Amino acid sequence: MPDSTSKSSTPISEKRYSAIKSRAFSALQWQALNTFGRQILTFLTGIFLARLLAPEDFGLISMATIAITWISILGDAGVGVSLIQRNDLFDDDIATAFCISVVISGLSAALIVVMSPLVANFYSAGHITSILYVYALSVLLGGANVVPGSLLRRKLNFKSVSKVEITGTLVSGLVSISLALRGIGPICVAIGSVVGLIASLVVYFFMGLLRIGAFPSLISVRRFGNFTIFASGTRIVELIRVFIDNAIIGKWLGPVALGYYVIGYNLPAIPEYRVVGLITSVAFPTMSTFGADRLMISHVYLKILRYASAAVLPMLIGLMLVADKLIPVIYGPKWFPTVPIMQILCLAGIGCSFGVLTDSPLLAMGKSRWTFLANLVWVGLLAGGLIWVLVLGYGLSGAAWVVTGSALIISVVRNVSTSWLCGVSLHEFYHAIFPATVATTVMAILVLVLKNIIAVRSADWIVLFSMVSVGSIAYIGTLIYLWPELRTNILSALYRLSDKESGKATR
């Protein structure tokens, strides 16, 4: 029999929509806690490791990550996304998906072990071999985590997802820092990753999500169909896109330049992987519950555009403006050469964030072929552009501009095509991002004026604090003024809080 989360392909009723909306809001709250909790833990871990490890160590870690990602990108074979998107889900589907993920992850891990010497020779870095051996185990463990996590997301049970992922991130960070303090070098990060994944599996086990109630079947494999093939292809190409810049830069410019590039991209990547990742992680399973109701999918698409722009634009434009003060304060003066790289990559972050945002409506409508082709074109532009500028000798800054240009071009194409498929007009799209765009412009002008006034005679941390404070106040105030719905929601929340406090006082 299908599971209790079977979905209808007919237009949904108002009552069902209200129920889905309530579950989605609760899921978003838990996923927000999960995303920002893990980001804080990862950020703090990164600060400790940046002070304990050298730029060359970060370069080696990045090289190893690139290698295992390219080999293990088939780890879930697209079954995770398919489990969420399918209307009806049977027990043998779950068993088949789990077996596919574990078997392919095991084969990928074995391939990593075999190819480790070749990877070390490719990068001319013998120390990377031991790191790859440890990461091979994390690939196998990651495959075992795919199905239980997807089942929780399908049911919008992000409370349990948060418990699992925060536990894994915390354990991974603590182990990595402890081993770095003992001076074992960059392999500490790989070991931390393995231990964190083991911790996640332990939590899944106690939740009862690792108990398989049926046997795999060929019929189940057929039921996944073409959607799974293109969803898997999308994952392959997307992960290649994410790491191909690191691979090419590491090969051409070496581990030191790659270390600066990685640190320069870490903060601009936060909106794409954390903020937009937070939104799409809830938006995709929510949109999938609407089945073939394209009107509801377009409604949710416009909603996530508005909320994503409100978070992404001020974060990245603000980061670009304060980077020269932020880097020395947080990471230390040895990382100052990464400032111009970070400023360029902030624009890339905007393009990547808005581009990735289109995946949820496309996958919910079963358009995995579209997401696959979009990412394929993106990889082609990125790889060709990087090789061209590095051969011509434009260096790290030239590479950063290629990453930025390709991201912005593909973002425009993806959003135009997604709007067309969803039936969203240009006016509706513009209306969705208008408040954040204007508020960000006001914020940027005030921050630049303040920076020129106080930068000369103040310490870096004072200038940084002043710019962040003034910019935040200006942005929030302008956004609330231009966004009536947000203003209404804030006032309603304050009224409910006031009533709750009054009730407590009365009792």
Whether residue 10 has pLDDT greater than 60: no
What average pLDDT does the structure give for the chain? Answer: 83
Residue 499: what pLDDT? 61
Q: Is the Cα dihedral 471, 435, 476, 409 positive or negative?
A: negative
As a whole number, mean pLDDT of residues 417-445 equals 91
Q: How many CB atoms lie within 10 A of CB 425?
A: 11
Residue 19: what pLDDT? 73
pLDDT digits (tens, 9 = 90+) for 440-497: 999 999 999 888 887 666 677 788 888 889 999 999 999 999 888 877 877 776 676 6
Distance CA 418, CA 467 (A): 36
Structure tokens at 416: 């135009």
> Domain locations in the chain?
13-216, 225-500
Whether residue 242 has pLDDT greater than 60: yes
Q: pLDDT category, 8, cuts 50, 70, 90?
A: very low
Residue 9: what pLDDT? 46
Nearest to 134 by CA among 109, 117, 152, 167: 109
Structure tokens at 481: 């003024």
Q: pLDDT category, 11, cuts 50, 70, 90?
A: low
Residue 455: what pLDDT? 63
Query: Is residue 195 classed as helix, strand or coil in its secondary structure?
Result: helix
Residue 128: what pLDDT? 84
* Phi/psi of residue 357, nearest 5 degrees: -60, -25
Residue 3: what pLDDT? 45
The torsion angle over the Cα atoms of residues 331, 332, 337 and 341, rounded to 10 degrees, is 20
Structure tokens at 262: 């990685």
- pTM, two decimal places: 0.71
Contacts for 421-428: CB closer than 8 Å, 24+ residues apart? 421/361, 421/362, 421/365, 421/367, 421/370, 422/294, 422/297, 422/298, 422/301, 422/361, 422/365, 423/294, 423/295, 423/298, 424/298, 424/301, 424/302, 428/302
Only one residue has tokens 């009792």, namely: 507
Q: Is the Cα dihedral 352, 354, 357, 361 positive or negative?
A: negative
Task: Report CA-CA distances (Å) from 446 to 74, 317, 321, 406, 431.
Answer: 47, 12, 11, 30, 24
Residue 444: what pLDDT? 94
As a whole number, mean pLDDT of residues 279-299 equals 81
As a whole number, mean pLDDT of residues 216-242 equals 72
pLDDT digits (tens, 9 = 90+) for 14-52: 666 677 777 887 888 888 888 888 888 988 998 888 888
pLDDT digits (tens, 9 = 90+) for 123-164: 777 778 888 889 888 888 888 888 888 888 888 888 899 999
Distance CA 436, CA 486 (A): 12
Least trusted range by pLDDT, from 59-68, 214-223, 410-419, 476-485? 214-223
